[in-house]
Structure 1
Amino acid sequence: MVDTMALLLPFGRASRTTSPSAQHPAAGLPADDEVLLDAPDDRLGPALVAAGQGSHRAAADLLAATRALGRWDHRDRYVLRLAAFARSRPEWVQTWYAAAPDDPDVLLLRAQLAVDHAWGSPARAELLRGVSPLITAAARADDRDPVPWRLALDHARGSRAGHTYFGELWEAAVRRAPLHYGCHVAALRYLASSWHGSHRECLDFADRAAQDAPADSLVQALPARAALAYLNDGCGPGVPPERLHAA
């Protein structure tokens, strides 16, 4: 397990829909608000289409399957994309929660939505304090699931939690899924120089995590992600070029 003090949102784009206010569709073509761009995989796509029609059943089945099979990386990516879709069309999530308020999958989706909402607000820290009970409810709903702990790590970053508290969350996350990519990315972001650490520390963490991961694990991508963050940042201590090339 990675050392706590060496801690240190998956790759891909959230599914997007065009604005419901778009008008004057071309003759013979569907209206803009009926078009799904950047179509995801063949499991998530139908869930998004059904959600656009107001039904939560396909999304519920999809997330329940990831939980039953322990496909935590898929679960994390699906939750992020479903939440992105629900930010503009939340009715299907509200209907789902009203029908099954103890469902671990809708609890997780509601927690992701709340974190996303708080993150985009100037009052982020204040709003995040009110999100904690939702994350806790999602974590308690299925103790095996690491995705609520990824949310907790994001929450801690947004509220500028200290290393000790973050380390406790990290240990709880990797105890459930040692190779969960989303939790590793959350930890990498926490360590980024714009928050609490440095780019050298990020690269150190990313290198160690990749060395300990199987060749087919998404965690193998962490060094490249850390190097890209450094190249896009333009601040903090310099990193030797050979480290960037190796990443």
Structure 2
Amino acid sequence: MNLMRTFLIPALIQLFSNVKALEIDSSFLDFAKDVRCMAPFLSLNTIGYLQCQKMCVRYSDCEVLRYSKSLLECRLYFSNNCRDHSGDSDPHIYLRRNQTHKSIGRYCLQRCPSGNACVVSNNISTCFPDSVAARYLNINAIFVEIDGVYFGMYTVLQISRDASLFCESLSGRLAVLDTQKKLQIISSETKRVHEFAHWLIGAFRVADAEWQWSNGKPAYPDVINDVDFDCVMIYRAFLDDCSCSLKGYFVCEML
């Protein structure tokens, strides 16, 4: 009995697990044999088949994907760049959008408008213009849109300089909250995400009693703690001065 418990039962569990895994994997391998496409609107390299399907689901204009298992290449196509096909074989996998595995798009159930992509973070989907989404697709953040401007809240600890460099790498900047509307919404959202976190933003001391946003407009911190603090953070919905060496979460603004 001990030998059975030690060797046979684990082996049977592993066997059934593998069978189940094969069933799941096979369900991702359906493909269309009756379509061929040309001129992809997006080409991706060194990418897996499931990730290729995810990218097609995310981009609202993707109707067909083509995948190469040998080259790990993914191509996404508009519907008008594809045609019905029969006859000669093709080594690539073609897949229509409606053939993607049902679990792929479970967070992007509502299709985004044309020219937009669905970005999923923390199981929440947001529609972004393609040009913005391309920078955000694989980054874990919480997003909000204010009058056509997109902000990402990042729950990664950084000092102000490094947070600024990160935002710039996304063609953005630390958030400039130079209107009451932006300030209220972002303050409310950061408090909702983590009430007691420090959130770094794009305002700095430029003189003894003078503060500016990075766009040159004046900034007005609610709390001044120290004459040596030259950076600004949101803390519990208030603008506080802080040391530029303080590590905090941060908010990027996409330009």
TM-score of Structure 1 vs Structure 2, range by shorter chain: under 0.3
Higher relative contact order (CA 8 A, sep 6+): 1
TM-score under structure 1 normalisation? 0.28
* Greater Cα radius of gyration, structure 1 or 2: 2
More helix by share: 1
More strand by share: 2
